[in-house]
Chains A and B, each alone.
Chain A
Amino acid sequence: MSIELGHFALILAFAIALVSAIGGLLLWRRGERLALVLGHASILQFVLVAVAFLAVVQAFVASDFSLALAANHSHSLKPLIFKISGVWGNHEGSMLLWVLILVLFGALVATFGRRLPSDLTNLVLGTQSLLVAAFAGFTLLTSNPFERLSPAPLEGADLNPVLQDIGLAIHPPLLYAGYVGFSICFSFAIAALVSGRIDQAWARWVRPWTMLSWTFLTLGIAMGSYWAYYELGWGGWWFWDPVENSSFMPWLAGTALLHSALVMEKRNALKIWTIFLSIITFSLSLLGTFLVRSGILTSVHTFASDPTRGLVILTILAVLIGGAFLLFAIRSPSLRQGGLFAPISREGALILNNLFLATAVGAVLVGTLYPLLLDALTGTTISVGAPFFNFTFGALMAPLLLVLPFGPLLAWKRADLVAAGQRLMGFAALSVFLAILISALGGTSISMVPIGLLLGFWVSFGAIAEVIERSRLGRIPLGESLRRLRGLPRSIWSTALGHFGMGLTVLGIVTVSAWETELVTTLNPGETAELSGYLVAFDSFEQQPGANYVADTGVFTVTDPGGETATLLAERRTYVASGMPTTEAAIQTYGLSQLYLQLGEPLENTHVIRVWHKPYILLIWIGALVMAGAGALSLTDRRLRVGIPQRARKATAEAAQ
């Protein structure tokens, strides 16, 4: 019964969204009253989709296998958390989650955007409803999660074992919140193009939404990377796989948007470019969600796809993205550019940032789509692998990281590069010293390593430069400096923190790539092996039953160079329902480094093990967490709270009369 209720709720949400879209986009001049109606409609859409979503969750939790989706992807033996996360561990359910987050953002705009001018509200909510209608319609017509089975099977077919992990509970919701959040920027861009209202206030409204989505996307990508690292058992954390690339491109574009919206907000410049980036970022999000889903690109990360849906998806994408760019082409020439500046200035630095980020998006896009194009045009099958991406992406990021520390130290409009350089001199010297020292100590055969280290330290230290500069540390009494630090605007702190996180990630990537060690060997219980000073002893091999699997467990004792011992359990699980095997690698953390141990399939009582030592690998994800923290910090900044500047302005205007 609840299933049909959920189905009906989704249909109703689709209908309301369709009406809202038509109303909002055609009658946007009607003012406050329409805005009120659209606001209520947006909240109603959210409530209805939430009902639909909960209906499916309920069926999964109660193991109601008359629901085809639950029968295909769930199992009564599964732990509760995996029953719930199993809802979005498949195409239909993940579409429903996607739509749920889409309507959630619409409802958020309706709730927090009451101070927006009504024509902007109407257009934004109208566009948002159009997206809801398109994707709710797609879900209902081609990937309906509410289909019933009769007779209902007694037991479900179980979820893919690789997905039975806490990662599935966290990663997709975060990633989708990031992807879908950019729909708000897209809707604002459309609203700006239609209404012609594009000014500093517009940028002030858009920036918090960009920041929020970017923060989620950063967390989502980092989480996905760590999940793939520990679950797939290949020891890698980034494969330049099409799925990874398509989540990375919106992140790059979103990062660019974050910076260009800053220029627009502060200096009323780069308007057309910012609008363009808003459209691009969401288009890349759509591409990220659906290109892989359409079955056109193959990937190691996605669930099996049904190619018949591909055409529908591509049509929706073409209409939405094509329509947005058509509108952009028609309307953008009428937008006025403002705010002149010298090439060397904060604006100039941010343009450079955007240039490199946008070019990097282009390079990744080419690498991802080129095999597809070549296959379609000539029939030759090729793959563009990690070497291509490492080469082009690295070459584009190096200059960006090199100039990054200068950016925050340059003044708006016209800046003094020499003065900024002088302030950074000490940090530059320190970075060079550390890079040389570590390269010498670590002994390196790759010539790029010192450069990478240098960039990592340079960005990390440079990020703190502005904070130190503002606190006048060392030049005035310490207490006074600390007081100044506390008084710094949160935007300064979040810039410093965000850039510092970037530096940490770079350092992690460089150290792991340069000094990772690996050992593949035959090892039987009672024998030991050694890797990078770590002694790995194979104690025993046993079979144990788990909740819904049987595990072959290898018990290892690892002695680190300091003499401490730790017990590691590496497993090979065979899942009861599907008979599918998975590898559960054992990972032991030493400070920021990790030892990663994988057990091979046993053959006549011989075992193959594979051990990696990954120095400072945790820096990669810690850096991403710091970046996300910087995003969250920035969201708490007074300056970004929508409405406050307006209220203040209104108050002064009243006082003046």
Chain B
Amino acid sequence: MTMPANTRRKGMTRKQKRLAVIAGLALVLVLATALVLTALRDQIVFFYAPSDVVARNVTPGQPIRLGGLVKDGSWSRDGQENTFIITDGGHEIVAHYVGILPDLFREGQGVVAEGSLGPEGRFEANNVLAKHDENYVPKEVVEALKAQGEWRPEATGQ
């Protein structure tokens, strides 16, 4: 919209002015759409349960969200390093996280970890999510557990 409209003010008719405005608008909209589509292709993160990770052969390094239950007795801590097993009943994946886990991170509870698979198949989480409600199990985890026939509502306190 930086065309020198004001220097040729006599030369531009009503119609041309309106056309210039509309062309400018259309251009921005096209660019914005392209931007959104590119970003959607590159920036989305897939949610997988451990069984999906095995079935789909997820490549190491690809950012994913891994969801399931924290396996009972699997959580060990060494300073700020946490290791635990995420399971959906079908398969298990060892996850590793450096930092402070959320308050409601518990064994036997639902969890969603963001990160990617390391070269040796260990899941390197850079973020662990747990909702601030003691009964909460992420919806994706519920569905993943249902798919494995492992969903027991009473077991999660609901």
Q: Which residues of B contact A342 (CB under 8 A)?
A: 5-6, 9, 12, 17
**C-alpha gap A162/B12 in the complex (Å):** 61
Question: Does B98 sit at the interface, judged by CB under 8 A?
Answer: yes
Let me know if B100 and A343 touch, CB within 8 A: no
The segment out of A196-204, A385-393, A427-435, A451-459 that lies at the interface is: A385-393
Q: Which residues of B contact A304 (CB under 8 A)?
A: 133, 135-136
Binary contact readout B126-155 vs A (1 if CB under 8 angstroms, 0 otherwise): 000101111110111001000000000000
Let me know if B17 and A387 touch, CB within 8 A: no
Q: Which residues of A contact B20 (CB under 8 A)?
A: 343
Question: Does B54 sit at the interface, judged by CB under 8 A?
Answer: no
Nearest CB of B to A584, in Å: 11
Let me know if B32 and A396 touch, CB within 8 A: yes
Let me know if A380 and B46 touch, CB within 8 A: yes
Question: Does B99 sit at the interface, judged by CB under 8 A?
Answer: yes
**C-alpha gap A550/B20 in the complex (Å):** 67
Question: Does A26 sit at the interface, judged by CB under 8 A?
Answer: no
Let me know if A366 and B2 touch, CB within 8 A: no
Question: Does B55 sit at the interface, judged by CB under 8 A?
Answer: no
Given known pairs A520-B100, A521-B80, the reply for A343 and B136 (CB within 8 Å) is no
Report how many residues on chain A are interfacial, defined by Cβ distance under 8 Å.
59
Cβ-neighbour of A387 out of B24, B32, B43, B132 (below 8 A)? B43
Which positions 24-40 of chain B face chain A at CB distance < 8 Å? Answer: 24-25, 28-29, 32, 35-36, 39-40
Q: Which residues of A contact B21 (CB under 8 A)?
A: 343, 348, 351
Q: Which residues of B contact A583 (CB under 8 A)?
A: 103
Question: Does A362 sit at the interface, judged by CB under 8 A?
Answer: yes
Cβ-neighbour of A608 out of B17, B36, B80 (below 8 A)? B80
Let me know if B46 and A396 touch, CB within 8 A: no
Let me know if B40 and A370 touch, CB within 8 A: yes
Let me know if B17 and A363 touch, CB within 8 A: no
Question: Does A540 sit at the interface, judged by CB under 8 A?
Answer: no
**C-alpha gap A329/B4 in the complex (Å):** 36
**C-alpha gap A391/B43 in the complex (Å):** 9
Which positions 84-118 of chain B face chain A at CB distance < 8 Å? Answer: 98-101, 103-104, 114
Let me know if B32 and A362 touch, CB within 8 A: yes
Instruction: Give the nearest-CB partner of A396 in chain B.
Output: B32
Question: Does B122 sit at the interface, judged by CB under 8 A?
Answer: no
Let me know if B45 and A383 touch, CB within 8 A: yes
Instruction: Give the nearest-CB partner of A307 in chain B.
Output: B139
Given known pairs A363-B35, A600-B100, A608-B79, the reply for A381 and B47 (CB within 8 Å) is yes
Instruction: Give the nearest-CB partner of B65 in chain A.
Output: A383
Report how many residues on chain B are interfacial, defined by Cβ distance under 8 Å.
47
Nearest CB of B to A358, in Å: 9
Let me know if A348 and B80 touch, CB within 8 A: no
Nearest CB of B to A433, in Å: 24
**C-alpha gap A355/B21 in the complex (Å):** 11
Q: Which residues of A contact B129 (CB under 8 A)?
A: 300
**C-alpha gap A385/B127 in the complex (Å):** 12
Let me know if A417 and B80 touch, CB within 8 A: no
Let me know if B45 and A581 touch, CB within 8 A: no
- Helix, strand, loop or mixed for chain B's interface? mixed
Instruction: Give the nearest-CB partner of A299 in chain B.
Output: B131
Given known pairs A232-B132, A578-B134, the reply for A520 and B46 (CB within 8 Å) is no
Nearest CB of A to B62, in Å: 13
**C-alpha gap A342/B10 in the complex (Å):** 11
Let me know if B46 and A382 touch, CB within 8 A: yes
Q: Which residues of A contact B40 (CB under 8 A)?
A: 366-367, 370, 384, 388
Given known pairs A343-B20, A370-B40, the reply for A298 and B139 (CB within 8 Å) is yes
**C-alpha gap A606/B82 in the complex (Å):** 14
Given known pairs A298-B139, A600-B80, the reply for A610 and B32 (CB within 8 Å) is no
**C-alpha gap A396/B140 in the complex (Å):** 31
Cβ-neighbour of A522 out of B28, B32, B79 (below 8 A)? B79
Q: Which residues of A contact B24 (CB under 8 A)?
A: 343, 352
Question: Does A580 sit at the interface, judged by CB under 8 A?
Answer: yes
Given known pairs A340-B17, A359-B28, the reply for A298 and B138 (CB within 8 Å) is yes
Let me know if B98 and A520 touch, CB within 8 A: yes
Which positions 399-453 of chain A face chain B at CB distance < 8 Å? Answer: 414-417
Question: Does A395 sit at the interface, judged by CB under 8 A?
Answer: yes
Which positions 1-22 of chain B face chain A at CB distance < 8 Å? Answer: 1-3, 5-6, 9, 12, 14, 17, 20-21
Q: Which residues of B contact A370 (CB under 8 A)?
A: 40, 44
Let me know if B5 and A343 touch, CB within 8 A: yes
Q: Which residues of B contact A367 (CB under 8 A)?
A: 36, 40
Given known pairs A340-B17, A380-B46, A522-B80, the reply for A608 and B100 (CB within 8 Å) is yes
Which positions 569-610 of chain A face chain B at CB distance < 8 Å? Answer: 572, 578-583, 598, 600-601, 603, 606, 608-610
Question: Does A58 sit at the interface, judged by CB under 8 A?
Answer: no
Cβ-neighbour of B43 out of A371, A385, A416, A581 (below 8 A)? A385
Q: Which residues of B contact A414 (CB under 8 A)?
A: 6, 9
Question: Does A344 sit at the interface, judged by CB under 8 A?
Answer: yes
Which positions 42-96 of chain B face chain A at CB distance < 8 Å? Answer: 43-47, 65, 77, 79-80
Q: Which residues of B contact A520 (CB under 8 A)?
A: 80, 98-100
Question: Does A328 sit at the interface, judged by CB under 8 A?
Answer: no
Instruction: Give the nearest-CB partner of B112 in chain A.
Output: A383
Nearest CB of B to A541, in Å: 15
Let me know if B6 and A610 touch, CB within 8 A: no
Let me know if A392 and B80 touch, CB within 8 A: no
Question: Does A356 sit at the interface, judged by CB under 8 A?
Answer: yes
Name 9 interchain pairs, CB-CB below 8 A, sorted by A. A233-B103, A304-B133, A343-B17, A382-B47, A384-B43, A385-B114, A388-B44, A396-B35, A608-B79
B-binding residues in A (CB < 8 A): 160, 162, 232-233, 298, 300, 303-304, 340-344, 348, 351-352, 355-356, 359, 362-363, 366-367, 370-371, 380-385, 387-388, 391-392, 395-396, 414-417, 520-522, 572, 578-583, 598, 600-601, 603, 606, 608-610
Top 10 A-B pairs, shortest CB-CB distance: A522-B79, A388-B43, A600-B100, A381-B47, A359-B32, A387-B43, A581-B103, A608-B80, A162-B132, A382-B44
Given contacts A391-B39, A608-B100, 11 further A-B contacts (CB under 8 A): A300-B132, A342-B12, A352-B24, A381-B143, A383-B47, A391-B35, A396-B35, A520-B100, A580-B103, A582-B132, A601-B103
